A and B are shown apart, each in its own frame.
Chain A
Amino acid sequence: MSLAWSFYLSTVLVYLGVDVMACWGLNLQYGYTGILNFSFIIYQSAGAYTAAVLTLGPATAGSFQQYIGGANLPFPLPVIAGGIAGGLLSAVAGVIALRRLRSDYQAMVFLVISLIATAVVTSDVGLFNGPAGLSIIPQPLSTALNLSLVGYRWFYVGLTAVICLIVYAFLRLITSAPLGRSFRAVRDHEQGAAALGKNVTGLRMTSFVIGGVIAGISGAVLVEFISAWSPGGWLYQETFVLFTALIVGGTANNAGAALGALLVPVAFLEGSRFLPQFGPPGLIDALQWVAVGLLTLIFVWFWPRGVLPERRRIIKLPGLQQAGTGRPRPVDYEKTAETR
Chain B
Amino acid sequence: MTSVQRQLTTPAAQAALLRVDDLAKSYGGVHAVAGVSFDVPRGRITGLIGPNGAGKSTALGMIAGAIKPSQGSVLLNGTNVAGWPSHKIARRGLARTFQQSSDFAGMTVTENLLTARYGQRGDTLRGALLGRRYWRAEQESLTARAADVIARFDMARMANELAGSLSGGQRRLLEIMRALMTEPEILLLDEPMAGVNPALGERIEDYLLQLKQDGLTMLMVEHEMAVVERLCDPVIVMAQGEILAEGTMEQIRSDQRVLDAYLN
Q: Name A residues whose Cβ lies closer than 8 Å to a Cβ of B.
A: 170, 173-174, 176-182, 184-185, 187-189, 191-200, 206, 210, 252, 310, 312-315, 317-325, 328-333, 335-336, 338-340
Contact = CB atoms under 8 A, between A and B. Distances in A.
A interface, over-half SS: loop
B8 interface: no
Contacts of A320: 147, 150-151, 156, 159
Given A177-B135, A324-B158, A331-B162, A197 B182 contact: yes
B157 interface: yes
B122 A177 contact: yes
Nearest to A340: B105
Contacts, number: 179
Contacts of A184: 104, 106-107, 115
20 contacts: A177-B135, A178-B115, A178-B120, A179-B123, A179-B127, A180-B128, A184-B115, A193-B115, A195-B66, A195-B98, A196-B87, A197-B118, A200-B87, A315-B114, A317-B156, A323-B160, A324-B160, A329-B165, A339-B101, A339-B102
A185 B115 contact: yes
Given A192-B98, A195-B90, A197-B90, A319 B147 contact: yes
A317 B165 contact: no
B111 A195 contact: no
B182 A324 contact: no
A180 B96 CA distance: 23
A315 B142 CA distance: 12
Interface in B144-158: 144, 146-147, 150-151, 156-158
A78 B119 CA distance: 36
Contacts of B162: 312, 328-329, 331
Interface in B60-88: 64-66, 85-87
B29 interface: no
Most chain B C-beta atoms within 10 Å of own C-beta, residue among A173, A192, A331: A192
A28 to B, nearest CB: 12
Contacts of A178: 114-115, 120-123, 127-128, 135, 139
Contact of B103 (A189, A194, A197, A310): A189
B139 A188 contact: no
Contact of B161 (A185, A328, A335): A328
Given A192-B102, A313-B111, A324 B159 contact: yes
B146 A317 contact: yes
A329 B157 CA distance: 12
A314 B156 contact: no
B106 A331 contact: yes
Contacts of B124: 179
Contacts of B116: 196
A243 B188 CA distance: 39
B110 interface: yes
A30 to B, nearest CB: 13
B4 to A, nearest CB: 18
B91 interface: yes
Contacts of A312: 108, 160, 162
Contacts of A189: 102-105
B215 to A, nearest CB: 21
A312 B104 CA distance: 13
B140 to A, nearest CB: 8
Contact of B182 (A196, A199, A319, A333): A196
Interface in B197-227: none
Nearest to B86: A194
